[in-house]
């Protein structure tokens, strides 16, 4: 599988928190719950009818709307990552994050970052209720609102990337860098493995999709 898990050396993966990088286009939904619970909730919301449990380092067939739900060992959050190379009728959205948070009565983070557009965005939900939100675009806009703390927008705007890094660390969360090197084709059978991510570093990874 032509997907790379990119990280700097020097810190054990289980100890990493914050943003791995801002020099990549990334989109994740992070859920403070088990992979089983998250895969079940997302499959229900998005009518996914393919669910392969404990799929890491195993062979899977690529279907429409392919997504991975995984938890890194030593990390409390499960992540939803949707393949950009599969059919893209379904996008990960902040509404997915809100609804999963409501369904599972837990904390959920929607994160989107683009070095191409110079943007970074996150939404934190708890039990389906928005707790904090940042939407930043370089030299264009900075919107921030929070039910948790009082911070002036101009303070966020000074360095929105460091602000986001500190937020993620405060949530004990980690945004990895995943790079799709080559498109996966519908119907292709492949071993679900990320180059640079060892099986013993994965608590669990499930594969979900539509037939």
Task: Write down the pLDDT at residue 85.
Answer: 60
Is 87 domain-assigned? Answer: yes
Whether the model clears a pTM of 0.85, i.e. scores above it, the answer is yes
Q: Which domain holds residue 102?
A: 3-7+18-210
Is 33 domain-assigned? Answer: yes
Is residue 142 within 8 Å of 155, Cβ to Cβ? no
Is 160 domain-assigned? Answer: yes
Is 12 domain-assigned? Answer: no
Q: How many domains is the chain built from?
A: 1
Is 86 domain-assigned? Answer: yes
Is 13 domain-assigned? Answer: no
Is 104 domain-assigned? Answer: yes
- The pairing of strands 64-72 and 59-61 is unpaired
42-86 pLDDT per residue, tens: 999 999 999 999 999 999 999 888 999 999 999 999 999 998 765
Task: Name the band, by pLDDT with cuts 50, 70 and 90, for residue 14.
Answer: very high
Nearest Cα residue to 170 out of 151, 154, 153 = 151
82-98 pLDDT per residue, tens: 987 655 566 899 999 99
Is 80 domain-assigned? Answer: yes
């Amino acid at each position: 599988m032509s997907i790379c898990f990119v990280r700097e050396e020097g810190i054990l993966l289980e100890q990493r928190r914050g943003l791995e990088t801002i020099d990549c286009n990334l989109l994740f939904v992070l859920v403070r719950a088990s992979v089983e619970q998250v895969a079940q909730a997302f499959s229900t919301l998005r009518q996914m009818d393919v669910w392969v449990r404990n799929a890491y380092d195993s062979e899977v067939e690529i279907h429409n709307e392919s997504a991975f739900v995984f938890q890194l060992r030593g990390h409390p959050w499960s992540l939803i990552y949707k393949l950009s190379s599969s059919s893209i009728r379904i996008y990960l959205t902040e509404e997915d994050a809100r609804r999963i948070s409501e369904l599972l009565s837990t904390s959920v983070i929607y994160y989107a970052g683009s070095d191409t557009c110079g943007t970074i965005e996150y939404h934190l939900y708890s039990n389906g209720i928005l707790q904090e939100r940042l939407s930043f675009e370089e030299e264009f806009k900075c919107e921030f609102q929070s039910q948790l703390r009082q911070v002036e927008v101009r303070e966020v705007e000074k360095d929105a990337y460091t602000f986001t890094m500190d937020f993620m660390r405060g949530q004990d969360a980690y945004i990895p860098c995943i790079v799709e090197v080559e498109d996966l084709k519908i119907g292709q059978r492949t071993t679900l493995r990320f180059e640079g991510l060892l099986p013993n570093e994965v608590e669990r990874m499930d594969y979900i999709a539509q037939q």
